[in-house]
A and B are shown apart, each in its own frame.
Chain A
Amino acid sequence: DTVKVSVAAEPYPPFASLDASGKWVGFEVDLANAVCKAGKLDCEIVATAWDGIIPALTSKKIDVIWASMTITPERSAQIAFTIPYYNTPAEFIANKDDKFDFAPGSLKGKTIGVQTSTIHAQYVQKAYPDADIKTYGTQDAANADLAAGRLDLVLADAAALDDFLKGKDGTCCDVKTFPKDPIFDGGVGGGLRKEDTDLKAKLDEGIKAIYASGEYATIEKKYFSYEVGTPPK
Chain B
Amino acid sequence: MRRRTFLMFSAATAAGAMWDVAVEHGAPGKELVRFIPETKLIPGVTVWRPSVCAQCAAGCGLSVRVVEGDAEVVRKGQSGLIKVGLAKKLEGNPGHPVNRGKLCARGQAGLQVTYNPDRLSHPLRRTGPRGSGQYAEVGWEEALGELHARLGPLASPSATSSLAFLTPPLRGQRRALIENFLSGFDGSALVSFEFFDDRVLREANRLSFGRAQLPTFDLAQSNVVLSFGADFLGTWNSPVAQSLSYGTMRQGRSGVRGKFVQVEPRISQTGASSDEWIPARPGTEGELALGIAHVLMSEHLRPAAAAGSAGRWIAGWSDGLPEYRPEAVAWKTSVAPETIRGLARQLATHSPAVAIVGGAPLAQTNGLFTALAVNALNALLGSVGKPGGLQFTPQLGSIGPAAPAKSKSNAANLSGNIQTLAQQIRTGKPKPVGALLIYQANPVFAAPPDWQVKEALVKVPFIASFGSFTDETSSLADLILPDHSYLESWVDDLPESGAAEAVLSLAPPALEPLHHTRATPDVLLDLAHRLGGPVAKALPWKTYEAMLQDAYTPLRHLPGSVSAASDDEFWSKVKDQGGWWSAGPVPETKPTAARGRSQPVKNQEPEFDGPAQDFPFHFLPFPSQQFGDGRHANLPWLQEMPDLLSTAMWGSWVEIHPGTAQRLGIAEGDLVEVSSPHGVLRAPAVLSPGIAPDVVAMPVGQGHERYGRYASGRGANPMAILGTKTEPETGALAWAATRVSVRRIGKGELCLFSVGPLEWGAKQLKR
* A, B assembled together: no
